[in-house]
Structure 1
Amino acid sequence: MKILYVITQLGVGGAESVLVSMANTMIGLGHDVEVVSLLNINKQNFDEKVTVHLLDLRHNPVSSLIQFRSILSKFQPDVVHSHCLHANIVTRLVRVIYPMKRLVTTAHNTYEGQGLIMSIFKYTNFLSNKITNVSTDAVQAFENNKYVKPSQMNVMFNIIDIHKFEYSSDIRDEYRNIFGVHEDDLVVIAVGSMKDSKDYPNLLKAIQLLTEDELKKIKVFIVGDGLLMAETQHLATTLNIESYISFLGIRNDVNSLLNMADIFVLSSKHEGLPTVLVEAAMAKNVIVSTNCGGVNDILPNFDNVVNIQDATALAQKLSEVMRLSKEEHLQQSEATYSYVKERLDPQKIAKEWLEIYQA
């Protein structure tokens, strides 16, 4: 089968990483795969057999659309699968001027925008053979906002290379040594871009609310970069908690950093299927999260989930988790690990996607 994936850009992000896993998995299963990025950005590592086309729709829209049509003409895909709002809309509109055998469009969040752009999405739904989103909450949000009709959008989980994040005691010991983490220290980690939806102020305020004795027990690592990095670091200083937090920026060893951690915390306002929770679960972290969307498709229960934008509740939950005995900590982490490993097995998810492609 010839599969053409289309995405807005190939920068650093959850949807972008998922696309890499999807493309590489399909190549591994013997399919021909090409990828189109509408923007001239590529910070992802694809299998060498995957052909990647970088367009420049922002600066050269006409020539980019001509190039897109040329790619379709030469590759002749059996299915085109677009990801994220702008790529979904552009690919649908391109279908008006160039035939596609089958078009699947995937949204990746409970919230992808509002106003005119979402109206265009809504009124071009008829151009897609199949519309999917990454979690139960995300589909429900689109239906509630009337961006899709009931049952028009289906839940389809991402293909995630979950085994890349498998727990390793050797890596844990190595990285705790590198970062000067003592045996009795609790490592709390957060991973995500420095943008409004991730709500790092919520996390920092929650950390400030911990008692002095609790703060002495933890080392907090924040992995990620973005437009709000300086603002977030300044807030940590303003809250007088900067000595407890290490801002690590963008890293290519997230799997090892997660292995070092004891507790993973997600403080987001909204997500689709928060892939990073899957990664943390595979690294056997105990997870504390806001109810930001998609969490119920990853965690076996809601014991450690709090309302969004509630720093007090987040602090209380962190405090509770920090007081778990080693046996309780292991019980929680193993339960989540087993749940995710079975539910999101990449070969199982890939088979489900192929059924959609071949329908």
Structure 2
Amino acid sequence: MKILYVITGLGQGGAERVVCDLADEMYIRGNKVKIAYLVGDVLTMPKYEDIELIKLNLNNVYSLPSAYLKLSKIIRKFLPDIVHAHMVHANIFTRLVRIITPIKKLICTAHSANEGGGGRMFLYRITHYLSDLTTNVSEYASNAYIKKKAVPENGIITVYNGINFNNFKYDEVSGKKIKENLHINSNTKILLAVGRFHNAKNYPNLLRAFKILKEKSSEPFYLLIAGDGELRTQLEQLINDLELVKDVILLGRRNDIPALMSACDIFILSSDYEGLPTVLIEALACEAHVVSTDVSGAREIIGENFGKIVGIGNPQALAQAIYEISLTNISRNSKASIFVKNKFDLDTIAKKWISIYNEK
């Protein structure tokens, strides 16, 4: 089978990692795979070099015609059995390319309950007929698209993101090395957040919650944040304003996330919106305790027993949940690791996609 994945970009994000891992799995299974991406630098890539990466250079409205024709040409030459687009810009762009380009089967996958305002939902709605199947990554997100009329009733299905758990498992030795390298006392509890510095992640909510926690608890805490982005200067200023300079470490982009998750006592997601937050799955796979805002997919990941969920944009509730977990949980969250590995394993999800690809 020939498969062409089309994605908005290959930056450092959860959706990008999911697509690259899926491409690897399809390649392992004997398929010929290419990835076309609209814009940006390649920060996330598949493991196998035989998976060709093709940049379409859709940098602005003036480059739209050339990018459009380039993707059309790629499809006509490669003749894929499946074109599988991911994220809003790639989904709509690929649907429009289909107007002039024969595509055997086009699948469009959204990766969030919130991919933009009414304009984007309108574009989803009027181009829906150009896709053979539309999917989203959580039941919550799929239902949100129906409510927003981006898709008709029964016009979307849920397929969870598949996670490669080979690296995401608890490693006590790596966790201890993180503490040693950062000169953090073994008695100090580590809170961890991972993700780009973007408004959706609402790091100010996390920092304000951490300030409340420091005032509430007599225990020592460090907050580590792995990631970077355009809001870094603003976050640094807020850390200074809240007098948290000695207690918060901005780690920048890291390639040792499993070790950080193994080192942390509590993983925190403070976002305002997500699709299926894979970092929560990865943290639970590393047996971390988790606190998350009530974003799309969080309840499907955490279930009834494996973490705490609080309201969006409520630092008091976030601080209280962290405080309660810090008092009651000493051992690792081992049962949660089993739960997420059974539900989101990449091999299982890849088999589901193959079944969908083969449907007539």
Q: TM-score range by the shorter chain?
A: over 0.9
Write the distance in 2 (CA, Å) between the matches of 1:343 and 1:358.
Answer: 22
In the alignment, residue 128 of structure 1 is paired with which amino acid?
Answer: S
Aligned twin of 1:324 = 328
Write the distance in 1 (CA, Å) between the matches of 2:212 and 2:230.
Answer: 26
Quick check: 2:11–2:40 contact (8 Å CA) kept in 1? no
Q: Does 1:51 align with 2:52?
A: yes
**Bigger shift: 172-181 or 4-13?**
172-181
Q: 1:241 to 1:75 in 2, by over 3 A?
A: same
Q: Does 1:311 align with 2:312?
A: no
Q: CA deviation at 1:215?
A: 6.4
Q: Deviations over 1:53-72 (max 9, x none)?
A: 01111242222222211211
In the alignment, residue 252 of structure 2 is paired with which amino acid?
Answer: G
Q: Which residue of the other structure, out of 80, 86, 94, is the alignment partner of 1:91?
A: 94
Aligned twin of 1:113 = 116
Q: 1:239 to 1:349 in 2, by over 3 A?
A: same
Write the distance in 2 (CA, Å) between the matches of 1:146 and 1:121.
Answer: 9
Aligned twin of 1:346 = 346
Taking only the aligned residue pairs, the percentage that are identical comes to 36
**Bigger shift: 315-324 or 254-263?**
254-263
Query: How do residues 43-192 of structure 1 correspond to structure 2 at under 5 angstroms?
Result: 43-46=43-46, 47-59=48-60, 60-192=63-195
In the alignment, residue 353 of structure 1 is paired with which amino acid?
Answer: W
Q: Give TM-score scaled by structure 2 length.
A: 0.95
Q: CA deviation at 1:300?
A: 2.3
Q: Does 1:268 align with 2:288?
A: no
Q: CA deviation at 1:144?
A: 1.3
Partner secondary structure for residue 97 of structure 1: coil
Write the distance in 2 (CA, Å) between the matches of 1:67 and 1:215.
Answer: 60
Q: Does 1:204 align with 2:207?
A: yes
Partner secondary structure for residue 98 of structure 2: helix
Aligned twin of 1:6 = 6
Write the distance in 2 (CA, Å) between the matches of 1:32 and 1:173.
Answer: 41
Quick check: 1:162–1:278 contact (8 Å CA) kept in 2? no
Q: Deviations over 1:211-268 (max 9, x none)?
A: 4473651111001111111101111111111211000111122122111111100000
Partner secondary structure for residue 349 of structure 1: helix
Q: CA deviation at 1:8?
A: 0.8
Q: Which runs of 5+ in 1 are unaligned?
A: none
Q: 1:34 to 1:358 in 2, by over 3 A?
A: same
Aligned twin of 2:248 = 245
Q: Deviations over 1:273-321 (max 9, x none)?
A: 0010011011111001110110122112165110000110001001101
Quick check: 2:10–2:45 contact (8 Å CA) kept in 1? no
Aligned twin of 1:25 = 25
Q: Which runs of 5+ in 2 are unaligned?
A: none
